[in-house]
Structure 1
Amino acid sequence: MYVAVKGGERAIDAAHDWLAEERRGDPAIPELSLAQIREQMSLAVNRVMTEGSLYDPDLAALAIKQARGDLIEAIFLIRAYRTTLPRIGHSRPVDTGAMRCDRRISATFKDAPGGQVLGPTFDYTHRLLDFALAAEGEAPLARQAEPGPETVPRILDFLGRDGLIQEEPDGDATPPDLTREPLEFPADRALRLQSLTRSDEGFVLGMAYSSQRGYGRNHPFVGELRIGAVEVMMGIPELGFDVCIGDITLTECETVNQFTGSKTEPAQFTRGYGLVFGQTERKAISMALVDRALRWEELGEENVGAPVQDAEFVLAHGDNIQATGFLEHIKLPHYVDFQSELELVRKMRRGARAAQMQEAAE
């Protein structure tokens, strides 16, 4: 229960003005443009698009600027804006097998057909501050690699040809839409994957790490990690065929996990899967690990009581917007609630003091 505070509206308006001033910073320094944020902070933009469930680099850049770099606040802004947009149709499922890869690696096969494409990555940097960037000079041009094939085969398909990896069932049924329907349990794999995509990157990373450390017995190989552009196709009823409405950049990860088999299934490998917007490979890999850990029941494995095996625990606590709202609401006025608890504590102390005095008198 909240109580009215005199002058609250004026105070809130003043807080908004002060926030705008703090966001702008020193007016003597040129203001960041959306193009600068979009092009030079692309990994932050990709995260906001992924967890905000809206692929629009310009809007994500605007949200980051408005949020002063607070990515969770920026994700909140994007999700709120997304609810105002009309739904004009549905695209076809994207074909990531036809991805034009900028980066494509495998930890399972050295000589993978199509080759290993390192692409733009921090993996081989020394993690030393580059003070040349402080000089704000022109960046050196990257050496141009020879163009690779337009598309490359899926690496895990080679295991599938020999029956060494579990086949994924065709998803003919339309999955539920988590952006329109609340999350309910038990959640099937399609719903779990949607939730993991929108979940906080740090939380999913922590869950994945816990599974690697033994809380879930999940230490896979990265079968394939690919990043690149895919076409988005949409059926146009008036035309009677599909048309490409644009390209989007995705990161896809498939992990390879051991599976000892069961009474009905032979020993083989199983998969974990992650798919996110942009170049967001840490999130994609983490998502694949958590996805595999959550499949213990359908694979007939033992539940060892690890947090990462508890779908309700993982999915209900991974959404950073819900978590932020519940956490930050406690800083809002709770005067009446606190006064009632304060009076209860005082009453208990008076009762205890009276009992001590009576005991002393006896």
Structure 2
Amino acid sequence: MYVAVKGGERAIDNAHAWLAEERRGDKAVPELSVPQIREQMALAVNRVMAEGSLYDPDLAALAIKQARGDLIEAIFLIRAYRTTLPRFGGSNPIETETMTCDRRVSATFKDAPGGQVLGPTFDYTHRLLDFKLAADGDVDDAPLGTPHPDATPHIMSFLDQEDLIQSEPQGAETPADLTRTPLELPASRALRLQSLTRGDEGFILGMAYSTQRGYARNHAFVAELRIGAVAVEMDIPELGFAIEIGEITVTESETVNQFQGSKTQPPQFTRGYGLVFGMTERKAISMALVDRALRWKELGEDNVGAPAQDEEFVLYHSDNIQATGFLEHIKLPHYVDFQSELELIRKLRREAQENIMQEAAE
């Protein structure tokens, strides 16, 4: 139970003013602009867009600035703003085969059809602090990479041709929208994927790592990881055809997993899938591993009791906004609740002391 706090309004106003002062920091240092955050902290912006379920780099950068770099708070701001936006329709499924790839790698085929594009990545850096970045000057220019311009078929399609990987049924109906309807269990795979996309990156990473350490019998290879721009199209009833309404950058990961077969499935490879806004490859790969772990029932596998196989545990605890709200509400006033528990403990102690005294007298 929450209770009113007398005189709290003035204290709250002062707290807001203090927060604004702390956000600004030393005024002798130039203020960080939203365009600077958008362009130079792109990976943080991408995470806020993905977990906030809103593709808008400018708003995500603004949220990061307002939240003083607290990405979960920024995600909260974006989700709250998202609820105020009118919904005028739904787009068609994006065609990732037509992606203009800035990065496209495979850990399963060296000579992947369409070629491999390393793109901008930390994978080959030495993880040493670059003190040039602290010198207020630009680093040396590097030759610019060229995105792969042509449609690039998915590597999984070549395993499909040999019938070596389990087929994916095409959805007959538009899946439910998790941002508009509450999550109910058991959830369809489409809803699980939506939940994982919005889930906290650290939590999903931890779940994925647990599968690699043996909790779920899930040994995976990254069949393909691709990052690039894709067109977003929308059907216009008045025109009778779809038009392109914009372009977004996404990261897509497909994993191929060992599968010995079951009573209902022959020996073959199976899939895990991840798709996230922006350049967010760690999240996309983690998502694919957890997606595969959650598919144990449809593939006729045994549930070995691994956390990543527990749909309720994964989906209900991966949402960092819900978790933050429940966690942080305990720092708000609970005076009445605590006083009642305090009186209960005092009563129990008195009764226990009386029982001790009575037993001693007997």
TM-score tier by shorter-chain length is over 0.9
- Give structure 2 stretches of 5+ with no counterpart: none
**CA drift at 1:3:** 2.2
For the 8 Å contact 1:216–1:304, the answer to whether it is kept is: yes
Aligned equivalents of 1:95, 1:146: Cα separation in 2: 21
For the 8 Å contact 2:99–2:230, the answer to whether it is kept is: yes
For the 8 Å contact 2:47–2:280, the answer to whether it is kept is: yes
**CA drift at 1:141:** 2.0
- Of residues 185-194 and 351-360 in structure 1, the stretch that sits farther from structure 2 once superposed is 351-360
**CA drift at 1:49:** 0.2
For the 8 Å contact 2:293–2:308, the answer to whether it is kept is: yes
Aligned equivalents of 1:161, 1:219: Cα separation in 2: 23
SS in 1 for 2:258: strand
For the 8 Å contact 1:46–1:277, the answer to whether it is kept is: yes
**CA drift at 1:262:** 2.5
- Of residues 270-279 and 229-238 in structure 1, the stretch that sits farther from structure 2 once superposed is 229-238
**CA drift at 1:355:** 1.2
Q: Deviations over 1:114-145 (max 9, x none)?
A: 11111000001111111110002112222234
**CA drift at 1:104:** 0.3
Q: Does 1:151 align with 2:120?
A: no
TM-score between both structures, scaled by the size of structure 2: 0.98
SS in 2 for 1:224: strand
Percent identity of paired positions between Structure 1 and Structure 2: 78
Q: Following TM superposition, where does structure 1 have runs of at least 4 consecutive aligned residues deviating by more than 6 angstroms?
A: none
For the 8 Å contact 1:106–1:116, the answer to whether it is kept is: yes
Residue 325 of structure 2: aligned partner: 325
State the Cα RMSD in Å: 1.0
Aligned equivalents of 1:222, 1:180: Cα separation in 2: 32
SS in 2 for 1:206: helix
The residue identity in structure 2 corresponding to 1:49 is: M
Aligned equivalents of 2:160, 2:169: Cα separation in 1: 13
Q: Deviations over 1:230-283 (max 9, x none)?
A: 000011122221111111000000000011123343211010000000000000
Q: Deviations over 1:3-35 (max 9, x none)?
A: 222210111111111111111111111111110
For the 8 Å contact 2:166–2:271, the answer to whether it is kept is: yes
Q: Deviations over 1:134-170 (max 9, x none)?
A: 0021122222346644222211111110000111111
TM-score between both structures, scaled by the size of structure 1: 0.98
The residue identity in structure 1 corresponding to 2:246 is: G
For the 8 Å contact 1:114–1:149, the answer to whether it is kept is: no
Q: Are residues 239 and 40 of structure 1, via their aligned partners in 2, closer, same or farther at CA, if it must alter by over 3 Å? A: same
Residue 203 of structure 1: aligned partner: 203
The residue identity in structure 1 corresponding to 2:344 is: L
Aligned equivalents of 1:57, 1:94: Cα separation in 2: 19
What are the residue-to-residue correspondences of 1:1-362 with 2, within 5 Å?
A: 1-145=1-145, 148-362=148-362
The residue identity in structure 1 corresponding to 2:99 is: M
Q: Are residues 337 and 51 of structure 1, via their aligned partners in 2, closer, same or farther at CA, if it must alter by over 3 Å? A: same
- Give structure 1 stretches of 5+ with no counterpart: none
The residue identity in structure 1 corresponding to 2:265 is: E
Aligned equivalents of 2:310, 2:6: Cα separation in 1: 47
Q: Deviations over 1:304-336 (max 9, x none)?
A: 011110101100000000000000000000001
Aligned equivalents of 1:171, 1:123: Cα separation in 2: 36
Aligned equivalents of 1:4, 1:109: Cα separation in 2: 64
Count how many residue pairs are aligned between Structure 1 and Structure 2.
362
Q: Are residues 82 and 107 of structure 1, via their aligned partners in 2, closer, same or farther at CA, if it must alter by over 3 Å? A: same
